[in-house]
Amino acid sequence: MIEDKNQQRTPISSLGEFGLIEHLTKHIELKNSSTLKGVGDDAAVLYFGDEQTVVSTDLLIENVHFDLAYMPLKHLGYKAVMVNLSDVYAMCATPTQIMVSIALSNRFPLESVEEFYAGVLLACEQHKVDLVGGDTTSSNKGFIISITAIGHAKKENLSYRSGAKSTDLLVVSGDLGGAYLGLQVLEREKQVFLVNPKNQPDLEAYSYLIERQLKPEARKDIPGLLKALDIKPTSMIDISDGLSSEILHLCKQSDVGCVLFESKIPIDPQVLTVCDEFNLNPTTVALSGGEDYELLFTININDHDKIKGNPHLTVIGYMTEDANQAFLQTRADQRIPLTAQGWNAFRE
């Protein structure tokens, strides 16, 4: 439905590969002094002086990671960049460059690729990141996207998954579960649309959830906020697969355990209402939903006062010395072992 909105359909073959790259990248203005050479040579050239370089990449496959039936291409471009920037912020680093590789089947006209790049470039603009290269090729079927984000940080400012200590507090930014529920709403509307294409859905009641799914924002503000509060997180990870799975990563890599309080998990009122409608448990949705792109981190307990009452941050638990023993402490005061039921690319 989305793709068909394009009135004009210029076949990519009319530009050729080099024409397409030129067309997509000719208006790019480099913003970072660390970018010495962007698009146009055999490789980009970057310079970070005495800072350490952070690199992260993600691969997105049509109908595995996204569905163009409800994902507008501009949003897809924006989100594809955001998920990569989120990984860089999760290191407490500053992203400065991305590389974008795409494979397209001949079902995509130039106008579709332009929309996708409009989203990519908007994300770059908002996060002051330079698009410095990529690769362009054809695919037999569907759309494949690989984005690599590059950033930098002073060595002492980097936050790894492995630094959490027992008695540290577990903290999360924003709220959880919205992106997963947004996906459930969009899937439902897709089924309704397939039965009755004339149906005009009223999605007002789901606006926050759909925005969380279609237009996630990487938490650029959090590393800066922590710095301003004079807090150095002891470990950090971004929430792409669901809270449970990310907590288990922190525990495993830091060799600690964790107690997570169910009653503390931040959940938006719209998530509660729509969980009711879908007959889902909001805690399960937050634990296993994924794609929220919030930051999950640990801080020394002595820093507690510095974040108390901060509207962006919630203390949801604490770390223990029992390596790999992660528990959910329920509202009924029971302790249940946390299991990773997050999104797994190799799940049957």
* CB 341 to ligand ADP: min, Å: 35
Q: Does 22 bind Mg ion (CB under 5 A)?
A: no
Question: Closer CB to ligand ADP, residue 18 or residue 346?
Answer: 18
User: Distance between CA atoms of 325 and 321, rounded to whole angstroms?
Assistant: 9
* 213 contacts 182 by C-beta, under 8 angstroms: yes
Give, as one character, the DSSP assignment of residue 12.
Answer: G
CA 29 to chain centre: 25
* CB 53 to ligand ADP: min, Å: 18
* CB 21 to Mg ion: min, Å: 8
Question: Closer CB to ligand ADP, residue 134 or residue 216?
Answer: 134
Q: Is the dihedral of CA 41, 43, 49, 55 positive or negative?
A: positive
Question: Closer CB to Mg ion, residue 22 or residue 277?
Answer: 22
Residue 190: exposure state from Cβ atoms within 10 A (0-12, 13-18, ≥19): middle
Question: Closer CB to ligand ADP, residue 96 or residue 184?
Answer: 96
Question: Closer CB to ligand ADP, residue 26 or residue 347?
Answer: 26
Which residue sits closest to ligand ADP, CB atoms considered? 133
If contact means CB under 5 to 8 A according to the sort of partner, which of Mg ion, ligand ADP, none does residue 55 touch?
none
- Residues of this chain that interact with ligand ADP (CB under 6 A) are 21, 24-25, 39-42, 100, 102, 131, 133-136
- Among 165, 175, 290, 337, CA closest to 235: 165
Ramachandran region of residue 28, left (φ > 0), alpha (ψ -120 to 50) or beta?
Answer: beta
* 237 contacts 87 by C-beta, under 8 angstroms: no
* CB 19 to ligand ADP: min, Å: 11
Question: Closer CB to ligand ADP, residue 24 or residue 54?
Answer: 24
Which residue sits closest to Mg ion, CB atoms considered? 135
| Of the residues 135, 187, 255, 277, which one makes contact with Mg ion according to CB under 5 A | 135
If contact means CB under 5 to 8 A according to the sort of partner, which of Mg ion, ligand ADP, none does residue 42 touch?
ligand ADP
Q: 70: Cβ–Cβ under 8 A, 6 or more apart, which residues? A: 1, 2, 186, 187, 189, 190, 214
Q: Does 17 bind Mg ion (CB under 5 A)?
A: no
Tell me which stretch binds Mg ion (CB under 5 A): 12-20, 91-99, 130-138, 156-164. Answer: 130-138
- Among 39, 9, 35, CA closest to 22: 39
Question: Closer CB to ligand ADP, residue 44 or residue 265?
Answer: 44
If contact means CB under 5 to 8 A according to the sort of partner, which of Mg ion, ligand ADP, none does residue 102 touch?
ligand ADP
User: Distance between CA atoms of 315 and 227, rounded to whole angstroms?
Assistant: 17
* CB 113 to ligand ADP: min, Å: 9
If contact means CB under 5 to 8 A according to the sort of partner, which of Mg ion, ligand ADP, none does residue 333 touch?
none
Q: In what order do the strands lie in the sheet with 143-153?
A: 52-61, 143-153, 94-104, 130-138
User: Distance between CA atoms of 108 and 6, rounded to whole angstroms?
Assistant: 10
By CB under 5 A, name the binding residues for Mg ion. 135
